[in-house]
Amino acid sequence: MVENSFEEQINALKEGTISELIVDPQDFPAFREAWKNLPDRMSIVGEAGLNGRIIYHYMKEEN
């Protein structure tokens, strides 16, 4: 089984190693597979960019 490279990138985003994650339209299905099983997926917020790109940021939930 091949590991989805977006799993590592999402973890880096959550840890603060990277500040944003840019997903191109052709890569969205792979990103979605990694994202949909996350318990805190609602904290990963996307913003529409140019040419169908989506820029994701991690917004930590405050309790």
Question: pLDDT tens across 6-60, in order?
Answer: 999 999 999 999 999 999 999 999 999 999 989 999 999 999 999 999 999 999 8
Residue 1: band (very low, low, confident or very high) from pLDDT cuts 50, 70, 90 = very low
Q: Are 52 and 20 in contact (CB under 8 A)?
A: no
Q: How far apart are CA 61 and CA 8, in angstroms?
A: 21
CA distance 45 to 49: 13
* pTM: predicted TM-score of the whole model, two decimal places: 0.84
Task: Please give the C-alpha separations between residue 63 and each of 17, 53, 60, in angstroms, as whole numbers.
Answer: 23, 31, 10
Residue 2 clears pLDDT 60, i.e. is over it: no
